[in-house]
Amino acid sequence: MSAVPESEPGSEPEIVRRKGHHIELALDPGSQIAAPGQAFADYRLEHRALPECSLEAVDTRCTLLGKKLSAPVLIGSMTGGLAQGARINRHLAEAAQQLGLGMGLGSQRVIFEVPEAQQTFEVRSFAPDILLLANLGAVQLNLGFSEWHCREVVARVGADGLYLHLNALQEAIQPGGDTDFSALSEQIARCCAALSFPVLVKECGNGIGPHTARLLQQAGVAGIELSGHGGTSWAWIEAQRNPDPRMQRLGQTFAHWGWPTPISLQTCRAALPQMPLIASGGIRNGLDAAKALAMGADAVSLAQPLLKAALDSAAAVVAELEIFLLELRIAMFAAGAPDLASLRQRAVSRI
């Protein structure tokens, strides 16, 4: 991957330049819609003064989409396409491999416009065993993409499945965004029926409610990542990128649009008791993760909190995630939940 050239600033294709802006803006604290730890701050996990288990024995292992994980934690889809993205993906993948976690790649659409971008997503050699999910924007299925493109992005990186992402609000605010989401659930259904690997759908920070969750179930998706409101705000990021000050207002107007992650999770779980659900959007520590798992998530995913560390090294990402995993274990211990099945029995109450 080191062969990806660092291009002269300003000389990259627009799609690559945009990814650079996204990284820069996502590192700005303004992109975070709530203070760290606020998304789940209104909820409290049952404390058991007599946990009746030992911290050392707390077992977070699970199986997701047929792959074993040391804990139900995925590194969220972020980037690729530019040299900086290649470094980030490599560091994230190495950390996932070391810790036995899953990982989503950022949108791979760029490889069909800029073929050299392909290598920035090739992380399998650094993470031979992890649950790895490829990524494409679902709206592209209304713009000429087909099952062939889905197969390509999965095969070219040796992924275990595919995320199709939904980002209607982001596309509406992004200059020249792709906003034809007409009958998209039918296109998603066609892909689910035709493809032999699991197809999951994710949002990008505005969450999924029960109506959409039911449409996705009918479409045949293998799982849903909620990516609710409470973490990274794409309305804010895209408004910052827009040179027109009138359009920048959109970022403020829509800053609080969407399903807060805990509400998205609780309503989708009630609507779809069996669907694999990944909670994301504002998951900032292992206690948020424990609350989400107790509310019915099968796994959690976090993106932005790992970005700064991923620019540095795999060791920095591992350090971030180790504390996250310790927080999860301590929360399970203090809730008297020696394993994930017990955690799902614990009460989470609204303060």
Interface positions with ligand FMN (CB under 6 A): 22-23, 26, 76-79, 106-107, 135, 163, 165, 202, 204-205, 227, 231-232, 280-283, 302-304, 307
User: What letters, b where the CB count within 10 A reaches 16 and e where it falls short, cover 296-316?
Assistant: bbbbbbbbbbbbebbeeebeb
Q: Measured between alpha carbons, how far is 77 from 136 in angstroms, rounded to an integer?
A: 10
Distance of closest approach, residue 307 Cβ to ligand FMN, in angstroms: 6
Distance of closest approach, residue 228 Cβ to ligand FMN, in angstroms: 8
The angle at the Cα of 58, spanning 56 to 60, to the nearest 5 degrees, equals 130
Cβ proximity to ligand FMN, 106 vs 209, nearer residue: 106
Cβ proximity to ligand FMN, 250 vs 310, nearer residue: 310
Distance of closest approach, residue 234 Cβ to ligand FMN, in angstroms: 7
Cβ proximity to ligand FMN, 22 vs 346, nearer residue: 22
Alpha-helical segments (H) within the chain: 14-26, 83-99, 147-157, 168-173, 184-194, 210-219, 234-241, 245-253, 261-271, 286-294, 307-312, 314-334, 340-343
Q: Measured between alpha carbons, how far is 118 from 80 in angstroms, rounded to an integer?
A: 8
| Cα separations in angstroms, 196 against 112, 134, 287 | 22, 14, 36
Distance of closest approach, residue 254 Cβ to ligand FMN, in angstroms: 15
Measured at CB, which residue is nearest to ligand FMN?
Answer: 231
Distance of closest approach, residue 43 Cβ to ligand FMN, in angstroms: 17
Nearest residue to 224 (alpha-carbon basis) of 247, 249, 192 = 192
Distance of closest approach, residue 213 Cβ to ligand FMN, in angstroms: 16
Strand, coil or helix: 278: strand
Distance of closest approach, residue 195 Cβ to ligand FMN, in angstroms: 18
Cβ proximity to ligand FMN, 228 vs 338, nearer residue: 228
Structure-token match 């065993």, residue found: 129
Q: How far apart are the first and last CA of the chain?
A: 48
Structure-token match 């409470």, residue found: 230
Determine if residue 29 is left, alpha or beta; phi over 0 gives left, psi from -120 to 50 gives alpha, anything else beta.
alpha
Q: Measured between alpha carbons, how far is 49 from 340 in angstroms, rounded to an integer?
A: 19
Cβ proximity to ligand FMN, 53 vs 300, nearer residue: 300
Distance of closest approach, residue 348 Cβ to ligand FMN, in angstroms: 20
Cβ proximity to ligand FMN, 53 vs 278, nearer residue: 278
Q: Measured between alpha carbons, how far is 331 from 164 in angstroms, rounded to an integer?
A: 32
Cβ proximity to ligand FMN, 283 vs 314, nearer residue: 283
Cβ proximity to ligand FMN, 237 vs 294, nearer residue: 237
Distance of closest approach, residue 57 Cβ to ligand FMN, in angstroms: 29
Helix/strand/coil (H/E/C) assignment for every residue in 102-166: EEECCCCHHHHCCHHHHHHHCCHHHCCCCCEEEEEEHHHHHCCCCHHHHHHHHHHHCCCEEEEEC
75: part of which helix (H) or strand (E)? strand 73-75
Cβ proximity to ligand FMN, 40 vs 163, nearer residue: 163
